[in-house]
Structure 1
Amino acid sequence: MNTFRIRAAIGLLQGIALYALYRASDHDGWLSLHPLLFSPLLLAAAFLPLLCQTGLGVLRPARLTAWLAGLAVVVAAIGAHDRWRVGLEHAARADLMPDALTALGVAALLFIAWPLILAGESERRWRASYPAYFDVAWKLGLQLMLSGLFVGVFWLILQLGAGLFSLVGIDGLRRLIGEAEFAIPASTLALSAGLHLSDVRPGIIQGLRSLLLTLLSWLLPLLVLLIAAFLSLLPFTGLDGLWKTGHATMLLLGASGLLIFLLNTAYQDGGEAHGRVISLSLRVACLLLAPLQALAAYALALRVGQYGWSPDRVFAACFVMLGACYAAGYGWTVLRRQAGLSGVACANIGTAWLSLALLAAVLTPLADPVRISVSSQLSRLQAGRVAPARFDFDFLRYHGLRYGHAALLRLKNDAGADGAIRRKAGDALGENRPQPKPPVQAVHPRGLTALPSGFLAQDWKQMSKRMADLPSCLQDGREECDAYVGAYSGAGKQEVLLAEKGASRLSLFQRDAQGLWTLAGTYDLPAACPAPLDALAAGHARTAPPLLPDLEAGGLRLRPRYPYVAQPCPGAGK
């Protein structure tokens, strides 16, 4: 029971932390202006509490704290690097959320590292036995899978309950579960409950694991047969058809990954007795992996030789290296005719450590795929392997992040570079392009020359993700707006009314308590009637009391919606 309370407390604290980060990003708080801090906090809050809960009862509190502190430093460094490479000169406007591949990479790194840590700690040595690694890794994977399923069913029940209550006119539950204040902590608490229930009943995990591995192991002979048939046909069909697909490397790597997975479902912890079919399939699978990896490496080398490195090819190279490690270890085991294929366990452990090293490299500047790609493409251009007219300068500008921007600056300022290269680098940087028109063309009443401080400097594109009703002049600049400055709500504070050219509404903006400009409301304008805008431009607008007051009922504020009544335009027909 004590462990359950601890897990529940961790889940609740995780939910509160995630909700606080959500609020900070959604309401433009001070943390939203610091991506180098926000991204590490988000990654740490998303992953480390799960590790803490799965480590309870396995590690001593002091050891658990030490390991989590070390992993927190690693996660924070990766998160900070992910936002740093976007470019600090754009940090205030950069997307706060870490890149999806970075988040996936952190999840993979932690999922590989944590079983290695837990197994080693359980046996009090830095390298545990293979059965210990196998048990911990499969238990962790199944716990996360079942806990995720538990959360999904939890929300399905809440949605069903909300639907049933709404049938009798009670919408309180629907409103409650739609609020982030409830949804985020409730989800993390449900996840903690799922982790606890799957941990206190180990027989469920072991039974499910045995059933799953048995079922999957019988798919290995089918896959071995298909791959063997494919490889046997290559001498007759040639490789040209394979290269013409354009995705041969990924297809071969996918086949290798599936073969490795099914091979290990049959091998399990190395102590299981196998039937003749499974045993033969295991040995053949160990030998088939090498030609698959050789073909994948060759296909990748051809692409790199033709087009240079790209981020996708860097990731593919990492998978090729891992596959080669598996292939070497598995193949050597079969060729040595070891009983029970004990070398498979050694290959798995060695490849796990190699995968950690590769993940640490690609998630940091050491082997950042974007940095490698920019350097590769730049060297191809400078060596004359690709003509300036065919070079993708936009890749450097829009996908090369900090590294691509720096490369374009070097090309533009290189006095010895070709004139076409310098000109195109300047075009990509936007220096030779016409400057966009300002979103606000005129400021009224007459005599004003500028909008209130901070209005145009605000990041409206970021705010448009949460405010769908913003005028398009603030979102993408498709239309131009006129601005009318005054104290229109009667509060005595400066406000801004924006009217798009030809639009049928006015948008009122007010400054909130944090000093940020927000959309307060809109006013409808009669069609083809310039009188209201002329009056606003002359400073003759005044406040008027509402025709009907708001109503408060059941804790809600109800606002009136008036029936449409056509109003004659003043001065029309004269």
Structure 2
Amino acid sequence: MTEQTVASDSVEVPAAADQGSLHDWPLRPWLLAALLGLAGLLIHFATQDSGQVAWRMALAAFLFFGPIAAAFTIERERWKEPAIFAVAVGLVMAGLTWRAVRYGEYLPDEQYGFAAGVVATALALPLFQADFHRRRLQTPYSEIYGHVWTDAISAAGALAFTGLSWLVLLLMSELFHLLKIDLLRDVMDEEWFGWTFSGLAAGAALGTIRNQLKVLATMQTVVLLVASLLAVPLAVGLVVFLLATVVSGPQVLWDATRSATPLLLACAAGSFVLANAIARQDDEAMTRSRVMRVAGLVLAAVILPLAVFAAFSMGQRLSQYGLAPERLWGLVAIVVACVCGVGYWVALIRGRRTGWATQLRSATFHFTLFVCGFAVLLALPILDFGAISTRSQVARLESGRVPVDKFDFAALRWDFGEPGKRALERLAKSRNSRVAELAGAALAQKERGYWDLDRSVRAEEDFKLRVQPDDPDLRRLVLDHLRDYSSLCAEACVALDLGVGEAGGRRIALVSGSTYQLIELGGKPRDVDSRPPRMITDDSQVEIRPWTGRRIYVDGEPFGEPIE
């Protein structure tokens, strides 16, 4: 099949990329439906046991990502290489999943490492489809570009069809329910059915869509045209924003919101997508509208300023709070945005005479390779952001840059992984009694507490606790419990001794705010207001009976429900 080029605002259909993908393959919908349906059923069996077992989650990831990669790449005349690629994708994602589940308690950022693997896989897919593993840097950009948009549209269409299939199935089940036939309802309630039916529907839709070259080309044209329309107002808005920021000073970003960095990076990402939507895959496919071409040039140029302002905003936050795993991942995003911005500026400068769009496509090609490789590096257990952040935070504490009472010991306990816990164990042995006390309190926590905006660990004197009757031994037991569950007793509270509990421990009522909790020390708190109310039915016997028991009174008035 020859290469097809559509003039003006249409797009070029990649012809050199898998020839098999451009021909109708009648078995494709059936094959992909069977593949993804079977994968869904096996995922159910892999995850049906309660709890997250590392090897089961890894197997589920392999069964999820591997078949999806195969569904996008397998062809009638070419199946061996796609099969190897799908197995490789499945094994990589299974390994990342196993690490995230098996060592999630010891890692501060397991979800980010997994996300980096997903990004690397998503970028590797169009590269593989364009035969990058054979042609490498000689791979035509137009083919990669075509596969990116084709894959995105195919995935969106498959997801939409899957949702509609569930809606039709639901309507059918309700229709048959009117006839007292609940077979379909019963089947839908089975846990295995959801994964299997979703896989069947998504596979059938994906296979059908990828068989329709003309439909995909038309949809791709429409999507790019709509994106091009968004480019003009976004370009104008970002130029006005950047000019206003230069006049007012970047400090205004920090003063206005603490979300400046993600907002700026989101704008940079949007500019990247829309600039490439206008640049298309070659000059012939670009829009003839001068306004849109200028908008695309502007969007490519503003990525670097947006990344610089995002870096300034992040620098302000790091100066105030120091490093943390999430902030390091934010720095990673800023580095990626800066690399893209610098590359685009170089492309625009070099393209003053030869055409900026041509240079921009070349820069996008190399930027894609950089991000794919960088994502693989970040997904591997090479850089320990928890250890890096822990060293930074402890250095700030020991140097006196952060007062002891303002230091977030709980962050080391809950957000920095195993390096943070080891640092707390060392700080708990500090010669500074205040540091040792707060570090020990953080280590003892059994749930994350948010006491105030500055820190979430409280020493014993921080609790406004009154024990009735005043018993030193009982007070010690209550304080030990509050240190474990520091979210309790956020305000003034009173612990009432209720005697010996069912398990032989000390039973108390912890009164705080507008409610109270019954606690048997050594157990978990139970909120008395969480008991489900009894509902009256037609056969309910309603009567009034005398009642005696104990309840709490505050200032002479009944407080909450009776204790017993």
- 1:66 has 2:84 as partner: yes
The reply to whether residue 347 of structure 1 matches residue 363 of structure 2 is: yes
Counterpart for residue 464 of structure 1: none
SS in 1 for 2:281: coil
Contact 2:412-2:421 within 8 A present in 1 as well? yes
Distance 1:273 1:105, change over 3 A: closer
Alignment of 1:321 onto 2:339:
no
The answer for unaligned runs of 5 or more in structure 2 is 1-25, 446-458, 460-478, 486-499, 506-517, 549-564
* Structure 1 Cα separation of the partners of residues 217 and 532 of structure 2: 66
- Matching residue's letter, 2:94: A
Kindly provide the CA deviation profile for residues 372-410 of structure 1, in whole angstroms up to 9, marking residues without a partner as x.
433332332233221221111111112223232222223
Compute the displacement of 1:277 (Å).
1.3
Q: Aligned with 1:169: secondary structure?
A: coil
Question: 2:524 is matched by which residue type in structure 1?
Answer: G
Residue 420 of structure 1: CA displacement? Answer: 2.2
Amino acid at match of 1:164: L
Q: Percent identity?
A: 22
Q: Normalising to structure 2: TM-score of the pair? A: 0.72
SS in 2 for 1:170: coil
Q: TM-score, normalised by structure 1?
A: 0.70
Distance 2:124 2:539 in 1: 64
User: How big is each residue's C-alpha offset from its partner over 1:526-568, in whole Å with a ceiling of 9 and x where there is no partner?
Assistant: xxxxxxxxxxxxxxxxxxxxxxxxxxxxxxxxxxx9955699x
1-structure distance, mates of 2:173, 2:522: 36
Note the 1:59-458 alignment, pairs <5 A: 60-87=78-105, 101=112, 104-120=115-131, 124-125=135-136, 127-244=138-255, 245-271=257-283, 272-274=285-287, 275-336=289-350, 337=352, 338-413=354-429, 418-430=432-444, 434=480, 441=503
1:21 is the counterpart of 2:46:
yes
Q: 1:11 aligns with which of 30, 36, 47?
A: 36
Q: 1:281 to 1:363 in 2, by over 3 A?
A: same
For residues 241-291 of structure 1, the C-alpha deviation after alignment (integer angstroms, 9 at most, x for no partner) is: 222022222221121111111111111113324322122222232222222
CA apart distance, 1:85: 3.5
Letter in 2 for 1:408: L
Across the aligned residues of Structure 1 and Structure 2, the Cα RMSD in angstroms comes to 3.6
* Deviation of 1:43 (Å): 2.0
Quick one: distance in 2 between partners of 1:233 and 1:418? Answer: 48
Could you say which residue in structure 1 is the equivalent of 2:559? none
Mapped to 2, the partners of 1:474 and 1:204 lie a distance apart of 67
**Which residue number corresponds to residue 529 of structure 1?**
none
Q: Deviations over 1:207-266 (max 9, x none)?
A: 100011012112212211111122222343233322202222222112111111111111
Q: What is the distance in 2 between the residues matched to 1:8 and 1:313?
A: 42
Distance 1:479 1:218, change over 3 A: closer
Q: Answer whether contact 2:61 2:94 (CA < 8 A) is retained.
A: yes
Cα distance in 2 for residues equivalent to 1:205 and 1:132: 14
- Larger mean CA deviation between 219-228 and 113-122 belongs to 113-122
- How many angstroms does 1:328 deviate by? 1.4
**Counterparts of 2:158 and 2:392, CA distance in 1:** 43
Question: Given that residues 263 and 282 in structure 1 are in contact (C-alpha distance below 8 angstroms), is that contact kept between their aligned partners in structure 2?
Answer: yes
- Equivalent residue letter for 2:202: L
Aligned to 2:65: 47
Q: Is the 8 A contact 1:473 1:479 kept in 2?
A: no
Query: C-alpha distance in 1, partners of 2:264/2:532?
Result: 57
Counterparts of 1:299 and 1:107 in 2: how far apart (Å)? 27
Partner of 1:552: none
- Work out which structure has the larger RCO, using CA pairs closer than 8 Å and 6 or more positions apart in sequence: 2
